[in-house]
Structure 1
Amino acid sequence: MRKYLKFSIAFLALASVVACSNRERKVQYMPDMYVSVPYNPNGADGIYKDGVVNSKPVAGTISRGNVPYDYANTDADYNRAKDELKSPLAKDEANLENGKKMYDIYCASCHGKKGDGNGVLSQREKFTGIPNYKDRDITEGSIYHVIMHGKNLMGSHASQLTIKERWQVVQYVEKLRNDLLK
């Protein structure tokens, strides 16, 4: 028994010496892990181009939290949005209340608290010709489209409002319009 134990220990010692003596790899299981392609972050196709950060997203990707808006800033797509777009939000008091809050922040200075086009900037004659909601043929889709792209002197408010807040403002504008039509 002792003979086998001595033989086993001698064999293990010899095997470990032989195994550790040759450090050159003969077979690579995943070559791209052993020999990676170096990436130069300041290279021509890297993060920086001409010393300026390349902030364009990768083609075919969508920023987190954003949903693609498939209507261009054209009259044809304005009419398409007017006919096709519908609010995904439930028409309830919580959405209406937040819509009023966002409207008061971003819209009331021009369009007025009642949606009559008589906001503070209109009264001070900074902007003229601001439309009254009751005089317009508007729908959920057309209001949303104008918030996204702007119209005439009004710029886009897409960067200031989240998707949900835009639809909440749409609900509140529709409420204002119905109040003016009464």
Structure 2
Amino acid sequence: MKNILKITIALAFMMILSSCWTDKSKPNYQYMPDMYHSVGYETYSENPNYANGMTTQLPVEGTIARGQVPYDYPNTNEGYEAAKLESKNPLEVTETNLENGKKMYTIYCVSCHGKTGAGDGVLVQRDKFLGIPNYKDRDITEGSIYQVIMYGRNMMGSHASQLTVKERWQTTMYVEQLRNDLLK
């Protein structure tokens, strides 16, 4: 029994050593050679694998990227006026929505518009921006608030990249609440 174990260990050791001295000029067998040597294509280069011959493919017409919600109003004055009149908040007014709207407002809006929406934020007090509107003095609707958050207006930039669609509507809901509080 001891001899069989010694012979097995010696054979295993010899196989391991012999595998180190193979002819390196002759490659091993490859099961799927394309997986080892794939063809890389540059982004805008020609590619024979597609019907139009290009690597970059445009999305199918009429499709929407996952996670994106189409917004029907363009970034124009006409689009702003149309959104102001027609666009309605799809979310229900709940404590959860208002609470999250307040969080988003505190993060993105308070520095300019102030805690109450009176246009007296820290940046205004430090004379960094002048002419920030008071919500009480503006003729705004939920559609116009959303449009401004989406595209920006005048000196205010767009916040579409920072806020999801739902968060924009929640912020809109909270801004409307602030405006109603100012009008009282």
TM over 0.5: yes
Report the secondary structure of 2:145's partner residue. Answer: helix
Deviation at 1:57, TM superposition (A): 5.2
What secondary structure sits across from 2:73 in the alignment? coil
Secondary structure of 1:138's aligned partner: coil
Alpha-carbon deviations, 1:33-63, whole Å to 9, x = none? xxxxxx973323214xxxxxx9x75543322
| TM-score using structure 2 length | 0.70
- Kept in 2, the 8 Å contact 1:81–1:145? The answer is yes
User: TM-score of the superposition, structure 1-length normalised?
Assistant: 0.71
Residue 113 of structure 1 is aligned with which of 115, 137, 149?
A: 115
Tell me if 1:79 matches 2:81. Answer: yes
Provide the C-alpha distance between the structure 2 equivalents of 1:107 and 1:134, rounded to a whole number of angstroms.
16
Match of 2:55 in 1: 46
Kept in 2: contact 1:140–1:174 (CA 8 A) = yes
> Given the alignment, which residue of 64, 70, 91 partners 1:68?
70
Report the Cα distance in structure 2 between the residues aligned to 1:167 and 1:57, rounded to whole angstroms. 28
5+ residue gaps, structure 2, are 1-38, 47-53
Cα deviation, residue 178, structure 1 = 0.4
Amino acid at match of 1:113: K
Q: Which of 165, 171, 180 pairs up with 1:169?
A: 171
Aligned with 2:169: secondary structure?
A: helix
| CA-atom RMSD in angstroms | 1.8
Equivalent positions of 1:116-127 (< 5 A) are: 116-127=118-129
CA distance, structure 1, for counterparts of residue 59 and residue 104 of structure 2: 29
1:145 and 2:147 equivalent? yes
Q: Distance in 2 between matches of 1:142 and 1:64?
A: 26
SS at match of 1:176: helix
Matching residue's letter, 2:41:
P
Question: Identity of counterpart residues, as a percentage?
Answer: 68
CA 1:64 to 1:119, structure 2 compared with 1: closer, same or farther past 3 Å?
same
SS of residue matched to 2:154? coil
Gapped regions of structure 1 (runs ≥ 5): 1-38, 48-53
Aligned length: 137
